[in-house]
Amino acid sequence: MFATIFFIFLFIGLLALMVLLAKAISGVRISKPSTEFTMAVTVLAKGTDFEGNNRKLPVTFKAESGDILELRVPFKKADGIIEGEKGNLSFKGTKFLKFEKI
């Protein structure tokens, strides 16, 4: 009887330790800062629907390498971006930073 209770508590303790360890590891990954990138792009498309209450529009960019990237751009900044326009896009992870026309 005592051995059974001991193993149950041991199992629960190990399970709790594994959960805490997994949360700690994922927290480190989330808090790691992304690198800022700037690249020459062409604007492929600009959405017209806002993303919830964030007042952001989806804008699709095509890099010179052929890679396609869609970012959510604040309305005030997206308003000046025109499809087909060329420029330098700066972003960090999935966060839009700026678009400078060439």
Same domain, 41 and 89: yes
- Give the model confidence (pLDDT) of 15-28 as tens digits: 887 777 666 665 55
Domain count, the chain: 2
Nearest to 98 by CA among 70, 67, 82, 74: 74
Same domain, 58 and 42: yes
Domain that residue 78 falls in: 36-101
DSSP 8-state secondary structure symbol assigned to residue 57? E
Same domain, 90 and 41: yes
Same domain, 23 and 62: no
Q: What is the CATH number of the domain that holds 57?
A: 2.40.50.660
| Token pair of 9 as six digits | 């508590």
Mean pLDDT, 10 residues at a time, the chain of 102 residues: 82 80 60 80 88 79 94 90 96 93 92
- Does the pTM surpass 0.75? The reply is no
pLDDT of residue 31: 46
Same domain, 40 and 89: yes
